[in-house]
Amino acid sequence: MPAHRRSSSSVRESAARLRAGAHRDGPHPEAGHDVPYATTGHLLRPAEPHEPGGDHARRLSSVHNPVAVRLGPGTSSDTALAHVDRLDPHRAPGRLALVTAMGADRVRDLLPEAVEKVRAGGASAC
């Protein structure tokens, strides 16, 4: 049955699995219908971008939606890579968007190091 036609009991079961911590290692790109979608938004992002191990990141790692993380001027390259490891462990194309908000005066100094670290970790960054 397509995801948009699931019964309410199926949605409740998916929510219960999510609360119970199912799919803790993140969705596998070929997992298909076993991985729940968060239907409250299209491109979701954690509310606490400085905490890759936080509750929001944990929940987002267990849904099939594409997700985004904001990289601010205080975000270290290690934190950027931790987000990639947590939210896109299988390095699925299109799964994770890193959104920069570093300021025009600092982005040239800060972004190259984060991109280099993320690429060295096996993720694509452009």
pLDDT at res. 6: 46
> Is 86 a residue whose pLDDT tops 70?
yes
pLDDT at res. 23: 45
pLDDT tens digits, 30-53: 555 567 888 888 889 888 777 888
Burial class from Cβ neighbours inside 10 Å (0-12, 13-18, 19+) for residue 30 reads exposed
pLDDT band at 17 (very low <50, low <70, confident <90, very high): low
Instruction: Give this prediction's pTM.
Output: 0.68
> Is 70 a residue whose pLDDT tops 50?
yes
29 to 12, 24, 41, 51, 68: CA distances (angstroms) = 23, 14, 19, 24, 17
